[in-house]
Amino acid sequence: MVLAGGGLRGGQAVGESDAAGACLKSQPVTPADVHATVFTALGYDPGGITYPSSEGRPLPPSEGEPIRLLL
């Protein structure tokens, strides 16, 4: 995945895969982590705010952790 702009640090590679690109070797990142990183770059605290679901339950905008290397 490539992310650019919006206050993200450029030229960063996060994680490492094996020679075939099939298995992770270090620093696995989930889609939720990418969402949390985007929210953080936009100035939101993805773990500190909640929005009500259709049932009225509070839900965070992301359940991931921001990728600090990119911020």
Q: Which DSSP category does 9 fall into?
A: P
Model pLDDT, residue 32? 93
Q: Is pLDDT of 23 > 80?
A: yes
Amino acid at 34: V
User: Alpha carbon of 40 to those of 8, 10, 17, 46: distances in Å?
Assistant: 10, 16, 26, 7
Model pLDDT, residue 25? 85
- pLDDT (tens digit per residue) in 40-67: 998 999 888 898 999 999 999 899 999 9
Confidence of residue 11 (pLDDT cuts 50, 70, 90): confident
User: What pTM was computed for the model?
Assistant: 0.76
Distance CA 49, CA 28 (A): 25
Report domain extents, the chain. Answer: 29-70
